[in-house]
Amino acid sequence: MALFRINRIADAAPLVRGEALYLRPAQSVDYPAWSHLREISRDFLSPWEPSWPADDLTRAAYRRRLRRQGDEIARDEAYSFLIFEERSNVLLGGVTIGGVRRGVAQAATLGYWIGAPYARRGHMTRAVAAIVGFGFSSLRLHRIEAACIPNNVASVRVLERNSFQREGFARSFLRINGAWRDHILFGLLEGEAQRAPLLEERGLV
């Protein structure tokens, strides 16, 4: 049996609150907003993500996504959230703690995306701060890892503002937008996370 297994977290439908935003698992009612935001952000996101399946934005694919999301939470494998602005309830993007490894590791991997209209406003920096807190407190992780393409300067800044440390460089690490890409490797240990500094609006994600 895995150590520190999270009991019935799927039943709790976790809500994670951050600064001026909140995170929750996707629901059926989110499909119109999610598919619209992903579609208008396609050109913005494609350079940093795996190639999208041809049916990625269809309702059928979204239903499969929801089933997979529920199964992964129930098995303590991954926790995917949508990000909403607290004041307006507008969908901003998504964030995931995935690849959960229990036993002697107690570690997981962080991933995230922001819709093009909401980039460089500090939303993702605050969302990552919130999900990191959830990972260390509710999931009782010891370590959270992340990786990003070296020229994704905005993503690097999000991680560094949340106290992630550069730990290495992996050649041809992930297949992104149809090509194997090098990645910078980051890590954050329990107890290292600090409140992100006050943010200037210009140049933020």
Cβ contacts of 164 within 8 Å, gap of 6 or more:
144, 146, 186, 187, 188
- What's the one-letter identity of residue 112? Y
Cβ contacts of 67 within 8 Å, gap of 6 or more:
none
Average pLDDT over residues 27-53: 97
pTM confidence score: 0.88
pLDDT averaged over every residue in the chain = 90
Q: Which residue has the tokens 């297949």?
A: 175
Give strand pairing partners of 33: none
Largest CA distance in the chain: 48
Share above pLDDT 90 across residues of the chain, in percent, rounded to a whole number: 86
Q: Any idea which fold 9-189 has?
A: Aminopeptidase (3.40.630)
Please check whether residue 129 is in contact with residue 158, taking contact to mean a CB–CB distance below 8 angstroms: no
Share above pLDDT 70 across residues of the chain, in percent, rounded to a whole number: 88
Q: Which residue has the tokens 């010891």?
A: 142
State yes or no: pLDDT of 79 exceeds 80: yes
Please check whether residue 124 is in contact with residue 185, taking contact to mean a CB–CB distance below 8 angstroms: no
List, for residues 120-161, the tens digit of each pLDDT value. 999 999 999 999 999 999 999 999 999 999 999 999 999 999
Task: Tell me 120's DSSP state.
Answer: T
Average pLDDT over residues 108-115: 98
What per-residue confidence (pLDDT) applies to 14? 77
